Structure 1
Amino acid sequence: MTDTHARPRPAGRRGRRAALCGTAAAAALVAGLLAGPAASAAPGTFVHPGVTVSAAQLDFVREKVNAGEQPWKDAYDQMTGSGYADLDRTPRPREVVECGPYSDPNLGCTDEREDAIAAYTDALVWYLTGDERYARKSIELMDAWSATLRDHTNSNAPLQTGWAGSSWPKAAEIIKYAYTADGGTWANEGRFADLLRDVYLPKVIAGSDSNGNWELTMTEAAVGISVFLEDKASYDRAMDTFRVRVPAYVYLASDGDLPKTVPGSGRDSRDEIIAYWQGLDHFENGVTQETCRDLTHTGYGISSISHIAETSRIQGDDLYGTDVGERLRYALGFQSKYALGAQPPSWLCGGAVKDDLGPITEVGFNALHTRLGNAMDNTQTLTEQKRPQGTNNLFVAWETLTHAENPN
């Protein structure tokens, strides 16, 4: 098929955790009442490394890089030439990360996100080269934050927690389940697990009623953290949120005259739905809730859909052949068409879309095109033009390297 075509409270750990668990329990009850009974999504045994990238995928990349093949060699050089792979990097943890609207104020927001991406970058370099200096640097970054961070505050706290919380588990998965299995040591792994469990997970697991990229990124973090912690209850809850949010973010004609909404959102009338969809009142396959906001935020949402679907596939539940994959395919194609410069029709955002989609197409394109064989002309053209796709400096990093033409 051709395609047609997401923005932080110090306290004692025990007291903080008890209070958050109470809030989480109440939210879980409400979610359960809304969603009804659902089968568990969590695997009987979690696969590690298993957050967005698997050992088989990384082994494939290592072979390609060692052979000097493209596009992996250029993507590897891009990664290792970035500041994220700098072995002289000094961690910059804070006890409280405060992020206001658009990260203003920015008290540790950029530092946290970039240290998390750096930890993942270093873990990748170690896996691909065997150079233990990079594994130790990844551990240094994770240890610095686990020894210091206690909370995220201000209005962007949930999104900030989602951004950083999406990168940390990818690093931790490789270090715990590959580096230590290969004889390396990580003395403070338990403390880092506590950080993810006590500081990150409670902020992201309850979701968000803001623009869809918020909840999708927060859910991505919740899914990745749940895999690392082998927390089946949190994994199931996050995947329940995902299955409801994706249809409320990407429109398909089968939805009817109006897009789907998240149950309990309170958006029941046509006017409320159109306002939430940035004033859009005509809908076609693949348009998203934020397309008429800008392509950049839309890219955040699409990226998180891809990441969660990829993690779910690695964990044994392949969603690419379901409604999730169909919406992702159309979303990638629709946005790619306009990112390539096509003139939008007058019904779409008044005939103009803003900004750039970002380095977010590789994971979904590889799954839907390389593995499943869908023809995705617009997405393919954009993906190949943007290679090597690097990082958005928030939560997306090095996906040409890890997922381009990866059959695993």
Structure 2
Amino acid sequence: MNRRDNAHRSPHDAALSRRRLLKGTALGAGVLAVPGITYAATVDSGATKAGAKAKAAALAHPGMLHSADDFARMAEKVKAGTEPWKSGWERLTANAHSAAGWTPRPLETVVRGGAGSNYPQLYKDIHAAYQNALRWKVSGDTAHADTARDILNAWSGKLKEVTGNADRFLASGIYGYQFANAAEIMRGYDGFDLGRFQDMMARVFYPLCDHFLKNHNGACITNYWANWDLCNMAAVMAIGILNDDQAKFDQAVDYFHNGEGNGSLAHAVPFLHDGGLAQWQESGRDQGHTVMGIGLMGTICEMAHKQGTDLYGADDNRFMKACEYVAKYNSGSDVPFRTYEWGSGQNCKPMQQTVISAAGRGQARPVWERVYHHYHYRKGHATPNISAIARKQSPEGGGGDFGPNSGGYDELGFGTLAYVLEA
């Protein structure tokens, strides 16, 4: 699919190119549409907006992927040597990124995509900061806290720009939400310059995320796969929490329910099937990106949950049904597939996928413990396929455990340690 950088195009042309192929169609209340797709029951946008406005104004801290109660549970279980937390902890301590004394390599300009790409320096340092912060919270060893602090301070003191071809928007989203999560853990730690870090996130990462969600790089609104929207939604939400910026948090929540792009719930999960299953938008593309999408939406839902906003349960647990679908197929069973149609490039060239893709089927990614323990243990839902794949892939590792390339760092991971609620 065409991913060309269209930043040179005029705002008028960019706006025109984003219009959907469906014009003049009267849509019923709460129904969203893209070319060739009619959506089943979705959330009511009016009710969603009212609910977002009604939530408490104060943002909770720590309040992204982990709360104070989560850290207390992890520490207690690891100290007692209780499984599976013990095995999850061992995955973390075995990872080279979690070693105290990691030396950061900050850059003024990070480039992802095109000439001069250097972004691995950023994502490796982010994962080192996160893993050391997590080790500190569980063990109490301040050598890890000092390491995480020093990495974060080094980057906030130097980074001025994230750029590149269209992939710069993947960098703003993926590394934006991950960086913010590492910083949230270190909030209040002696010597951590939170204010300078908050400024970096608002100045360097947020504008790219906001621009992508509003303009989609000047392309047809359906051109970019769900994961492009989702990573930028996750970053906007995380930056909102880190910076105590309610408007940014609400922006991400509103986009989840009402966004025009493929990251909003109704577009990321376009078709409902029998048997409690729902088709993921990238299922006809490949399973690596499909599972990545499950991880990104799970990240958004978990961060919102920590702030008292339920996205997991939106539209009658639509996301849970997508998780069941993806888990079932990636565990080796057949699932139904409905032809997916969309418009690509700048001019919405018609495209379609008629079969589910087997590319990357069955690969391990650390995304399942989080959704499994929310839906099955917090909410008591039957999740046979999610449960099976979560148990098969436990204990989950993190960045550096799933290959040397950027895809192996798309998730912060360590879900067995961080998200398991009951053994």
TM-score, normalization by structure 2: 0.75
One-letter amino acid of the counterpart of residue 265, structure 2: V
Alignment equivalent of 1:137, drawn from 147, 151, 161? 147
Alignment match of 1:305 (pick from 294, 297, 302): 297
| Partner residue in 2 for 1:287 | 279
Structure 1: stretches of 5+ with no match in the other structure:
1-6, 8-21, 255-281
Contact 1:205 1:237 in 2 (8 A): no
Q: Which residue of 2 aligns with 1:18?
A: none
Alpha-carbon distance, 1:344 to partner: 5.2
The secondary structure found in structure 1 opposite 2:391 is: helix
Partner of 1:332: 323
Can you list the C-alpha shifts for 1:170-206, whole angstroms capped at 9, x where unaligned? 11111114xx3xxx332x2211111011001111124
Q: 1:406 to 1:169 in 2, by over 3 A?
A: farther
Kindly indicate whether the alpha-carbon contact (under 8 Å) linking 1:99 and 1:160 is maintained by their aligned counterparts in 2.
yes
For residues 377-401 of structure 1, give each alpha carbon's deviation from its aligned partner in whole angstroms, at most 9, with x where no partner exists. Answer: 1111100000111123123321111
Counterpart for residue 54 of structure 1: 67
Counterparts of 1:395 and 1:109 in 2: how far apart (Å)?
16
Provide the C-alpha distance between the structure 2 equivalents of 1:82 and 1:62, rounded to a whole number of angstroms.
18
Aligned to 2:172: 161
Cα distance in 2 for residues equivalent to 1:160 and 1:289:
21
1:240 to 254, 259, 268: 254
Per the alignment, residue 215 of structure 1 pairs with 229
Match of 2:417 in 1: 401
Q: Residues 57, 49 of structure 1: CA spacing in aligned structure 2 closer, same or farther, 3 A cutoff?
A: same
Post-superposition shift, 1:251? 2.8
Confirm whether residue 185 of structure 1 aligns to residue 176 of structure 2: no
2: CA distance between counterparts of 1:351 and 1:235?
34
Deviations 1:139-196, CA, capped at 9 Å, x for gaps = 111111111111111221111111111111111111114xx3xxx332x221111101
Deviation readout 1:258-295 (Å, 9 max, x if unpaired): xxxxxxxxxxxxxxxxxxxxxxxx9x942111011111
Q: Aligned-pair distance for 1:406?
A: 5.6
> May I ask how many residue pairs the two structures share in their alignment?
341
**1:242, 1:320 → 2: CA distance?**
11
Structure 2: 5+ residue runs without aligned partners? Answer: 4-10, 20-31, 33-44, 259-263, 340-353, 399-407
- In structure 2, what is the Cα distance between the partners aligned to 1:97 and 1:129? 33
* Partners of 1:72 and 1:401 within 8 A in 2: yes
Asked if 2 retains the 8 angstrom alpha-carbon contact of 1:64 and 1:73, the reply is yes
Secondary structure, counterpart of 1:38 in structure 2: helix
Instruction: Tell me the percent identity.
Output: 30
**TM-score, structure 1 normalization:** 0.77
For residue 202 of structure 1, what is the amino acid of its counterpart? P
Report the counterpart of residue 368 of structure 2 in structure 1: 361
Is 1:151 aligned with 2:157? no
Q: In 2, Cα distance between the equivalents of 1:249 and 1:319?
A: 14
Q: Contact 1:166 / 1:395 at 8 angstroms: preserved in 2?
A: no
Partner of 1:250: 269
Give distance in 2, aligned partners of 1:55 and 1:346.
41
Q: Distance in 2 between matches of 1:303 and 1:292?
A: 18
8 Å contact kept, 1:113–1:164: yes
Question: Once the 2 structures are TM-superposed, how far is the Cα of residue 347 of structure 1 from its aligned partner?
Answer: 6.3
- Pairing 1:5-404 to 2, within 5 Å after superposition: 38-39=49-50, 40-41=52-53, 43-100=56-113, 105=115, 107-153=117-163, 154-177=165-188, 180=189, 184-186=190-192, 188-206=193-211, 207=213, 208=216, 209=221, 210-244=224-258, 245-253=264-272, 285-323=277-315, 326-343=317-334, 350=355, 352-355=357-360, 356=363, 358-391=365-398, 392-404=408-420
